[in-house]
Amino acid sequence: MINRFSFENVLSFKDPQTFSMIASLKKERLFDDSQNYAENLKDSKTLSSAVLYGANASGKSNLIKALLHFRNFIVSGNQNLDSLDFIVPNFQLDAEKAKMPAQFEIECFWKEKIYRYGFSILNSGIEEEWLYVKEKRESEVFYRKKQEFTILAKNKILHELTSKKMVHSKAFLVTIGAQFNDASCAGFLEWIHHFNIISGIDDRLYKDYTVRRMKESREFSQKVVELIKFADFGIEDISINSIPGQNIKLTVGVNSAVEFEPGAIDDLMSKRFVLNSKGLPELKEFHFGLFESEGTQKFAHIAGPILDVLENGSVLVIDELDTKLHPELTERLVLLFHNKEINKHNAQLIFTSHNTNLLDAKIFRRDQIFFVEKDSFGSSNIYSLADFKKNGKSTRNDENIELNYLKGKYGALPFLGDFDNRLNR
């Protein structure tokens, strides 16, 4: 689970930002909110979900991209070290800030430990990097300033890697340490590889993953079917139709040819009850892509990633989760993560949305609702409803949150000005 993500000088975020998933001490009285968080270590409660609102171009997707950049730097940042500069997504609307490092830090909970890892980075290389681990109390694993390293003698693997100058200026020590089986680095990297970021708009990208998992496991396939039936699309079952590849002959040069056979194409088939010629119901198969709605297809495509994180207790971040989905269906997906009988391993869902129906104090705690807004200089800022104050007063837990948001009380709405008059000019 993500406890908090802090960053500065990244994309549209000029100033330091902290996206915190630590449950606040504020009490909710409209519903039993104990389903909305997990208890990690002593006195630590981490929220099971969060939703981000804001106008178009306010920076909602940039928060998702900041998380993606953070992940990708660690996973793939040690490639082509001598030939390429880093592509650092720092804030570009301030000439001085554009020359400064982008900075990232994440605190996460994984297998009974809390990891706090971060780095600051320029195109030319890594400026700083650090890793701390907490079981009973937090301890430093390493701290780095450019090519100067502070490592305790007990961390023998890391000590040897740095003393023998085996760490390039563009190489992340946490990644190299994991490759050489340092326990702390390997533990954090294991969490990173269970950290999933997907697009809710390009949902077809995840169809292949869902289909592959269904082919590998009958149990997983049945869970997908149950989730589809739970969504009440009228589908009774789903099957996979594999169309074998056909030989293709390609001419190479003048007198030679090469034959190859592409792999099979897998398509989903839905099964629904139809009335036969005798007026009796019977199951009939339909091609998913031809006969099912865009919303039904999206739900099936992202079912794989959703079930995967619920199985493994990992994190799923989705940009525009509610695109193509009915508001009630989006709500039900969120409530899967708020159900401890389903979410047994403390999986976490973070997503952006324009669906204001979710702004309900009976679904989310106030600290699960975040807003993103740009100032007059084009710099984005994040704040939660729990932290929001108007005229010095905090948001009450029994407010009509949706109505107040649409009235502009919390900000983060598009400013349309004289939009209609401009069109009539």
Amino acid at 76: S
| C-alpha separations of 306 from 209, 232, 314, 316 in Å | 11, 17, 10, 7
Please tell me whether residues 39 and 157 are part of one structural domain. yes
Please tell me whether residues 110 and 178 are part of one structural domain. yes
Residues of the chain with pLDDT under 50: 416, 419, 422-423
- Crossing angle of helices 207-216 and 218-230, rounded to 10°: 130
- Of the candidates 342, 44, 80, 78, the one whose C-alpha atom is nearest the C-alpha of residue 185 is 78
Please tell me whether residues 58 and 87 are part of one structural domain. yes
For residue 318, being part of any structural domain is answered with no
Write down the pLDDT at residue 154: 87
Write down the pLDDT at residue 83: 61
Per-residue buried b or exposed e for 232-265, using 16+ beta carbons within 10 Å of the residue's own CB? ebebeebeeeeeeeeeeeeeeeeeeeeeeeeeee
Please tell me whether residues 350 and 300 are part of one structural domain. no
For residue 93, being part of any structural domain is answered with yes
For residue 246, being part of any structural domain is answered with yes
Please tell me whether residues 113 and 254 are part of one structural domain. no
For residue 411, being part of any structural domain is answered with no
From CA 163, how far away is CA 382, in angstroms rounded?
41
Please tell me whether residues 255 and 168 are part of one structural domain. no
Three state DSSP letters for 341-393:
CCCCCCCEEEEECCCHHHCCCCCCCHHHEEEEEECCCCCEEEEECCCCEECCE
Residues ≥6 apart with Cβ < 8 Å to 309: 194, 196, 315, 316, 347, 348, 349
Please tell me whether residues 206 and 178 are part of one structural domain. no
Please tell me whether residues 175 and 46 are part of one structural domain. yes
Write down the pLDDT at residue 267: 81
Number of domains in the chain: 2
Write down the pLDDT at residue 33: 81
Per-residue buried b or exposed e for 12-38, using 16+ beta carbons within 10 Å of the residue's own CB? bbbeebebbbbbbeeebeebebeebbb
> CB 184: neighbour CB atoms within 10 A?
23
Write down the pLDDT at residue 74: 93
For residue 330, being part of any structural domain is answered with no
Write down the pLDDT at residue 153: 82
Please tell me whether residues 34 and 122 are part of one structural domain. yes
For residue 421, being part of any structural domain is answered with no
Continuous segment of H or E residues that includes residue 46? strand 45-47
Residues ≥6 apart with Cβ < 8 Å to 38: 1, 45, 46, 48, 346
From CA 237, how far away is CA 217, in angstroms rounded?
15
Write down the pLDDT at residue 136: 86
Write down the pLDDT at residue 151: 94
The pTM of this model reads 0.88
User: Which tens digit of pLDDT belongs to each residue from 73-85?
Assistant: 998 866 656 666 7
230 is in which domain, residue-wise?
202-304
Please tell me whether residues 185 and 228 are part of one structural domain. no
Three state DSSP letters for 251-311:
EECCCEEEEECCCCEEEEEEEEEEECCCCCEEEEEEEHHHHCCHHHHHHHHHHHHHHHHHH
For residue 59, being part of any structural domain is answered with yes
From CA 317, how far away is CA 322, in angstroms rounded?
13
For residue 315, being part of any structural domain is answered with no
Write down the pLDDT at residue 264: 56
- Of the candidates 242, 307, 233, the one whose C-alpha atom is nearest the C-alpha of residue 271 is 233
| C-alpha separations of 343 from 24, 48, 198, 313, 317 in Å | 21, 9, 20, 8, 16
Please tell me whether residues 353 and 219 are part of one structural domain. no
Please tell me whether residues 20 and 164 are part of one structural domain. yes
